[in-house]
Amino acid sequence: MIEVTFTCALLPGKERLWERFFSYFAHPRGFLGRIAGYLMSITNRDLNEWVVSLLDLQPGDKVLEIGCGPGVAITYIIQQHPDVIVLGIDLSPEMVREAMRRNAQAVSCGARSPAAS
């Protein structure tokens, strides 16, 4: 497990506030969680595309993305490899909903979410 400590030189004594803010990136929830998901979708886009490019996916392959967040990598896989089966899971119901929204067309083609059931 990785432990991260936050300090704030500009606002002494406000470390708890920053810890709480950054906790929304570890387990997005509620309104701030949706904002965290949006920020992650922007900041992680290039990294997700690079990782997917390393997979050498072939038609019929199956991909499980653990911690799929807002579903950016899933979108990229679907766009680049339409014959690949993709499953994303995340601890955050907010992120599962966002990933399903982002990939609504693929979801409507046969995928379903236990969270949506």
Q: How do residues 50-71 score in pLDDT, each as one tens digit?
A: 999 999 999 999 999 998 888 9
pLDDT at 88: 92
Q: Percent of the chain beyond pLDDT 90?
A: 26
Could you give the residue ranges of the DSSP H alpha helices within the chain? 15-26, 30-43, 45-53, 72-80, 93-102, 104-108
Q: What is the pTM of this model?
A: 0.68
Answer yes or no: are the C-beta atoms of 62 and 87 closer than 8 Å: yes
Check residue 3 and give its pLDDT. Answer: 54
Kindly state whether residue 39 falls inside one of the protein's structural domains. yes
Amino acid 106: pLDDT: 84
Let me know if residue 80 belongs to a domain: yes
Digit-coded pLDDT (tens) for 70-116: 899 999 999 999 899 999 998 888 888 889 988 988 887 765 444 44
Instruction: For residue 2, tell me if it sits in a domain.
Output: no
| 109 domain-assigned | yes
Count CB neighbours of 49 within 10 A.
16
The token duo for 41 is 């979708």
Question: Residue 26 is part of a domain; what is its CATH number?
Answer: 3.40.50.150
Domain that holds residue 97: 15-116
Counted domains in the chain: 1
Query: Is residue 110 one of the residues assigned to a domain?
Result: yes
